[in-house]
Amino acid sequence: MTQVLAKVLVIAEHANGKLNVSTAKTIKAAASLAGAEVVVAVFSTAGSPVAAQAAQFAGVSRVLEVTHAANEHQLAATLAPQVAEVGKPFTHLFAPSTTFGKDLMPRVAALLDAPQLSDVMSIESATRFRRPIYAGNAITTVEVSAGAKVIATIRTASFEAAAAGGSAKVEAVASSAALPSHSRFVSLAAAAGDRPDLQSASKVISGGRALASADAFKLIYGLADKMGAAVGASRAAVDAGYAPNDMQVGQTGKIIAPELYIAIGISGAIQHLTGIKDARTIVAINKDSEAPIFEVADIGIVGDLFQIVPELEKLIDASRK
């Protein structure tokens, strides 16, 4: 019998009855810890199919399902006390380093009076972790005191998704944690549309300051829709109001690892590059042949985006005829 050296609780991220792929990546990270028992906690409402989805991943030994009407909307303020309570017997509590996990885990760490470790990119042992600092320009190794509970967010771009093929048991767990009344769900303002989710899409097309207006940014949406890609933006494009804030890619936006990333009219500032350094293939379109984005691009096209993007669309249309 193998000895269990660590008990890891992975907090599932989900919405609309579907487990987010970030959870599968967090499970993979947890399973990379030698001798770990990996348990997934799903905080949902009665009748949700999410726990059954979590049970299907290889490497998961059990799924704890905590149902509560308050879990319909995954608010960090109401989830944190439940996570802290259910997580007590575990040595490690992991959540993806997405907006969900980054909002939730510091609250959990505070409630458990434990250290919070952000953006883990590799796990060397139960107490040693590696994470990027200075916008990804340096990697630091962090040692957590032995015996301390580890509350961590996992950099999803650094891990593959766990494979299917598991059949873990789902256990119903009751939580008696007092839920706060200071926060309540009012409404959700989400971008409507059928575009893939930026953080998990295999293809992403981003636009930068060069687009020069929200109206011109529609060029990016048009190309993305033709290619079935998600849309991202540089911070300059977001700050100027050409694209919404949740599309920002980079150090203070989303860290992504698509198969294909196309940067259009983006200079390639280090803070942007840190969000895309795990992309498999990077294509850059920029009129300045000296732009730093070309140093990381696998394919570079020098020219005016307002000419090149319509040409690309025509080529795509022609290839489909």
Ligand X SMILES: Cc1cc2nc3c(=O)[nH]c(=O)nc-3n(C[C@H](O)[C@H](O)[C@H](O)COP(=O)(O)OP(=O)(O)OC[C@H]3O[C@@H](n4cnc5c(N)ncnc54)[C@H](O)[C@@H]3O)c2cc1C
State the DSSP string of 137-161.
Answer: TEEEEEEPPTTPPEEEEE-GGGSPP
Q: Does residue 304 bind ligand X (CB under 6 A)?
A: yes
Tokens of 256: 């992504």
Cα-based torsion angle of the residue sequence 45, 152, 58, 199 in order, rounded to the nearest 10 degrees: 70
Tokens of 52: 């059954």
**Residue among 141 and 252 whose Cβ is closer to ligand X:** 252
Given 288, 295, 298, 311, the residue binding ligand X (CB under 6 A): 288
Question: Stretches 6-14, 35-43, 183-191, 243-251: which one binds ligand X (CB under 6 A)?
Answer: 243-251
Given 265, 276, 283, 297, the residue binding ligand X (CB under 6 A): 265
In sequence order, what are the beta bridge partners of 36?
Answer: 6
Sheet of 128-133, strand order: 122-123, 128-133, 138-143
Question: Stretches 7-15, 85-93, 263-271, 276-284: which one binds ligand X (CB under 6 A)?
Answer: 263-271
Question: Stretches 76-84, 86-94, 203-211, 310-318: which one binds ligand X (CB under 6 A)?
Answer: 203-211
Q: Does residue 306 bind ligand X (CB under 6 A)?
A: yes
Given 252, 295, 298, 317, the residue binding ligand X (CB under 6 A): 252
Stretch 64-123 residues interacting with ligand X (CB under 6 A): none
Residue 16, Cα to own-chain centre: how many angstroms? 17
Q: Does residue 266 bind ligand X (CB under 6 A)?
A: yes
Given 157, 234, 243, 257, the residue binding ligand X (CB under 6 A): 234
**Residue among 237 and 256 whose Cβ is closer to ligand X:** 237
**Residue among 170 and 302 whose Cβ is closer to ligand X:** 302
State the DSSP string of 35-80.
Answer: TEEEEEEEEE-TT-SHHHHHTTBTTEEEEEEEE-GGGGS--HHHHH
Going from the C-alpha of 174 to that of each of 3, 11, 44, 248, 294, the distances in angstroms are 28, 16, 12, 38, 54
**Residue among 171 and 304 whose Cβ is closer to ligand X:** 304
Given 6, 55, 305, 312, the residue binding ligand X (CB under 6 A): 305
Q: Does residue 272 bind ligand X (CB under 6 A)?
A: yes
Given 95, 168, 210, 279, the residue binding ligand X (CB under 6 A): 210
Which burial class, exposed, middle or buried, applies to 12 when counting CB atoms under 10 A from its CB (0-12, 13-18, 19+)? Answer: buried
The residue count for binding ligand X (CB under 6 A) is 28
In sequence order, what are the beta bridge partners of 263?
Answer: 206, 284
Q: Does residue 286 bind ligand X (CB under 6 A)?
A: yes
Q: Does residue 221 bind ligand X (CB under 6 A)?
A: no
- 254 secondary structure, DSSP code: B
Binding site for ligand X (CB under 6 A): 208-210, 234-237, 248-253, 265-267, 269, 271-272, 275, 285-288, 291, 304-306
